[in-house]
Amino acid sequence: MDLSYILNELAEDRSQYFNAIAPPIIQTSNFAFDTVEAMRNAFKDEMSGYLYSRGLNPTVDILRTKLAALDNAEDCLVFNNGAAAIFAAVLANVKSGDHIVSVHHPYTWAAHMFDKILPRFGVSTTYVDGTKIEAFERAILPNTALIYLESPNSWLLDIQDLRAVAELARSENIVTLIDNSYCTPIYQKPIELGIDIAMQTATKYIGGHSDTLGGVLCGSAAMMKKIFDSEYLCVGSGIQPLNAWLLLRGLRTLPMRLEHISRSTRTVLAFLKHHPRVEEVIFPLDEDFPQYELAARQMSGASGLLSFYLRAETIGEIERFCESLKHFRMAVSWGGHESLVIPKCASFDPADFDAQKKLHRLVRLYVGLESGEYLVEDLRQALQ
């Protein structure tokens, strides 16, 4: 299906809403029925029609259809945020006594679920080095039900061989789930590589304006129905119509924004790689990246997130660098119009800083919609 068609026409039956170019925000809590039989059928299966906006909603459905098509998936569910999407996908596929294999250092709230919530219900998790398929093979147990992936990871940008992991999991009847927020379906299509559920945080590139939250799950119709009937409806974490409309707006310009961001990121990357205060830059499609060949094989592009190790003897040097930046804002997340910086040392007590530990000197940058040259000048003055 053509990308331009998906973003601009798919699921938009404009004749149903006065031929308006922009779809309406159907801001309603519930829907009326003409007959008791129609209401009875809706009660039997909330995914068969419109009953209550906790489940299906026309504005949300336009977004669902477009996102499923982007991932070449059969269906899609959209949540209020990425953490909710991960939570629902995992809970739908594990039960008491099950085991999960996850990549090292996953997203904060995925780790919280694995370490704090699921153990209360007898579900255990083993963390592995996802860069090695052998690590997954060794970690699988007879009760392993789910493999959780992040490729690339959002800090060290480690990637996994998605096709190899998918084939391994399928041979063991294990469900695979990936956080694909870094690439979006524009630059990486996990479903085509055999992954069961592709998740992304729509807060980031899909929204693109840092003004709404969202989380996406794409997969088979059966898997989405399974999640919808239980976790989606019960937890009540489905996205609201206004937020869905904002994500639809963001989708219109997604390819152009990613193209501009990717170009500026290359400019920033080239500058950092040759600066004496930078020890090492981490970016998946840089030829010096340890997994470059795999990244080039399963990713058609890389976006605006990169990390680097600052040459610093004290935590104060890192703090001064970050605080001296004028155009990179210090904040979490990424994917919006604004460029961002976050130092790893913000996540621990300054008294624990050890310059010999590379991770303590790690800084993550997000390159937004500003020009690459504009951002390089900001980095240059801050590194001085």
> Whole-angstrom Cα distance, residue 202 to residue 233?
20
Q: Which residues pair with 198 in a beta bridge?
A: 178, 218
Beta strands 75-79 and 124-128 are unpaired
Beta-carbon contacts of residue 203 (< 8 Å; ≥ 6 apart):
81, 82, 212, 213, 214, 215, 333, 335
Distance from C-alpha of 12 to C-alpha of 210, rounded to nearest angstrom: 25
User: Which helix (H) or strand (E) covers residue 182, if one does?
Assistant: none
Q: CB count, 10 Å around CB of 170?
A: 13
SS3 label, residue 175: strand
Backbone angles phi, psi at 264, to 5 degrees: -65, -35
Domains of the chain, first to last: 3-252 (3.40.640.10), 254-383 (3.90.1150.10)
Q: What DSSP assignment string belongs to 3-43?
A: HHHHHHTTT--GGGGTT-SSPP----SB---SSHHHHHHHH
**How many other β-carbons are positioned within 10 Å of the β-carbon of residue 57?**
25
Tokens of 67: 């996102």
Q: Are 194 and 167 in contact (CB under 8 A)?
A: yes
Mean pLDDT by 10 residues, the chain (384 residues): 96 94 95 96 95 96 98 98 98 98 96 98 98 98 98 95 98 98 97 98 96 98 97 95 98 97 98 98 97 97 96 97 98 96 96 96 98 98 97
- CA angle 242-246-250, nearest 5°? 165
Going through the chain in order, the beta strands assigned E by DSSP cover 75-79, 99-103, 124-128, 144-150, 175-179, 197-201, 215-219, 278-282, 305-310, 329-330, 340-343, 362-366
What's residue 127's pLDDT?
Answer: 98
Q: How big is the chain, counted in residues?
A: 384
The one-letter amino acid at 343 = P
Sequence-distant (6+) residues with CB within 8 A of 351 are: none
Collect all residues with Cβ–Cβ distance below 8 Å to 258 and sequence separation of at least 6. Answer: 184, 186, 187, 205, 301, 303
Residue 359 exposure: Cα atoms within 13 Å on the Cβ side: 6
Q: What is the pLDDT of residue 303?
A: 86
Are 28 and 56 within 8 A, CB to CB?
no
Helix, strand, or coil (residue 255):
helix
